[in-house]
Amino acid sequence: MNDIKTIHLLKNIPTRTWQLGMIALIVSIGITLYFYSLGLTMSSIMIACFSFSLAIILLLQYFGVITETHPIIFAAVCILLIVSGFVEGATTGQYFYFFPLVVVIPIVVKNKNSSNLEFILTYAAIMISFVTCFYVGHAVRPIEQISNSVANKIIYSNAGSAMFITVSFSIANIFYENKFLSALRAIAQIQSHEMRKPVASIIGLMDVWKEEKYVYDEEIVTMIEKATVELDEKIHLIIKHTTL
């Protein structure tokens, strides 16, 4: 019963990218509706296309078609922000979204398990995208004409949304980190207690068999086989935990 509970716990630990991607998807849908209500048709269509692309990426990850989704999501966000610089200019403050993007790098890239080169390249790519977005927003005439009053509304909403995403990313990371630590404790429980039972049974039976000069005893052999099967089940259980 404890084993089933442990598996259930571990299988409900989503990956960082999935959780953070869902937060970004919800926010992007909200921004799409908000921009549409302000009459910014081109901007709302652009963000709607991004929301659709992000939803497809998350579905592919959910069904196991692709696993390493964070480079794709990073690229999609950077492209969206650069394109928004062409469409809206810098007056809407879309570059605020690079801040939560930088914050999330250590969370989803997992630099402890990845090479330092991957971490540095990801960070460099996002910083280059930020500079490009900022430059385009100030140097290129925006495609969509936005009045000052609407631009002021958008820049405050973008700043607020960027702060909300950053806080949400942090909370989600802490929450699922705690679940991950609980899972590790569950694995330690299996290793330190539940695996000891079949091992102790095998050792005890082997001692009895040794005293009997290893004369064939069907009952002892059956009990050793049963304990070995139980030990094998525990090993496979741990393998399932560590490969989720």
How many Cα atoms are found within 13 Å in the side-chain-facing hemisphere of 192? 6
Please tell me the distance from the alpha carbon of residue 189 to that of residue 92, in angstroms, as a whole number: 53
CA distances (Å), origin 88, targets 11, 34, 120, 151: 42, 15, 30, 9
Residue 116 three-state SS = helix
- Could you tell me the pLDDT band of residue 241, with boundaries at 50, 70 and 90? low
Tens of pLDDT, residue by residue over 164-223, are 888 888 887 777 777 767 767 776 776 666 777 788 888 888 888 888 888 888 888 888
Contact in structure between 189 and 234 (CB atoms under 8 Å): no
pLDDT at position 140 over 60: yes
- Give the pair of three-digit tokens for residue 164: 């909300």
Q: What is the pTM of this model?
A: 0.70
